[in-house]
Homo-oligomer: A and B are copies of this chain.
Amino acid sequence: MFSLENLCVVLVQARNPLNIGAAARAMSNFGARQLRVVNPYAPAYREARSAVGAADLLAHSQQFGALAPAIADCSLIVGTTAIGHREVQHPLHLLAPGARKIRNHLRKGRVALLFGSEKRGLSNEDLSHCHWLLHIPARKEHRSMNLGQAVAVCLYELARDSTHSKPSEHTPPVRGEKPATLETIHRVSEVLLEAIERSGYVKPRGGRTAEEKLRRMIRRFQLQEADAQVFLGMLRKILWKLDSTGQPAKAAH
């Protein structure tokens, strides 16, 4: 994960204690530590101090009476927005490319990421402090995200390790996943063929067609070697049972 040590999450006029707590929890999940709240609704801020797994982070959060002092030590200020008309004067970046810009900056300096109040978002006055704006792409019919969820999505994208884009490197190897050998697949096909012949599903020695069809089907199953061996054991036992107690398939017709 990319280190978010230099990131300040700034909640401006948050009203809901659950959202403040949720923001803190997401910060803890993704490794951001500096939470700053500007003019919160006081009871909301007090109540938020009990958020699951983020009590320590909340206890170390800082409270400010205005936005300017809350971001005074930051060298890049980014506001989040669900896009309105008023913001056209600001450069706007979608989350993924915007996050790349922020990560570049975090390597050398402190970045403030601003989230506005649940109801109105960031004010024009707040926006005037921002270098540019960040937008989470969402459906145009319902762009406004819940505050806690917006913080989580932004931090997830920011903490994204650049190497995550290569699936092969980061997907943990699946235990014991090894494709079945052709030999095993042939054996499975053979035993299954005998079993379905014995059951009367196909005629015995029904010719190459049935056999080939069956083998192609078994190949499409994309068996793992370990599974194929288990499956083979089952089929052999079934075949043994058919042989030991059943009558020849022909007689059953």
Q: Which residue of B lies closest to A28 (CB)?
A: B142
Q: Which residue of B lies closest to A52 (CB)?
A: B146
CB distance from A18 to the nearest CB of B (A): 7
Contact of A201 among B172, B177, B217, B238 (CB under 8 A): B238
CB of A22 within 8 Å of the partner chain: yes
The CA of A212 and the CA of B200, in the complex, are separated in Å by: 29
The CA of A145 and the CA of B21, in the complex, are separated in Å by: 12
Contact of A171 among B94, B161, B174, B245 (CB under 8 A): B94
CB of A170 within 8 Å of the partner chain: yes
Annotate A150-170 by CB proximity to B: 1 below 8 A, 0 otherwise.
Answer: 101100110111001101001
By CB atoms of chain B within 10 A, which of A1, A142, A242 has the most? A142
The CA of A180 and the CA of B87, in the complex, are separated in Å by: 23
A62 surroundings in chain B (CB, below 8 A): none
CB distance from A233 to the nearest CB of B (A): 7
Contact across chains for B149 and A88 when beta carbons are under 8 A apart: no
**Interface 9-mer from A37-45, A72-80, A109-117, A131-139:** A131-139
The CA of A184 and the CA of B145, in the complex, are separated in Å by: 38
Contact of A238 among B88, B221, B233, B242 (CB under 8 A): B242
Q: Which residue of B lies closest to A140 (CB)?
A: B1
CB of A230 within 8 Å of the partner chain: yes
CB of A103 within 8 Å of the partner chain: no
Contact of A199 among B153, B192, B220, B238 (CB under 8 A): B238
Known: A89-B175, A195-B238, A217-B231. 12 other contacts (CB 8 A): A18-B18, A22-B149, A29-B139, A92-B172, A146-B152, A148-B148, A149-B149, A198-B238, A200-B241, A201-B233, A220-B227, A241-B249
25 contacting pairs across A/B (C-beta < 8 A): A18-B18, A25-B146, A26-B145, A26-B146, A28-B142, A29-B138, A31-B139, A88-B175, A89-B175, A94-B164, A96-B164, A97-B164, A100-B167, A137-B164, A145-B152, A146-B148, A149-B149, A152-B153, A196-B237, A196-B238, A200-B237, A217-B231, A221-B222, A221-B227, A245-B245
Chain A interface residues toward B at CB < 8 A: 1, 18, 22, 25-26, 28-31, 52-54, 88-89, 91-98, 100, 136-139, 142-146, 148-150, 152-153, 156-157, 159-161, 164-165, 167, 170-172, 174-175, 177, 192, 195-196, 198-201, 217, 220-224, 227, 230-231, 233-234, 237-238, 240-242, 245-247, 249, 252
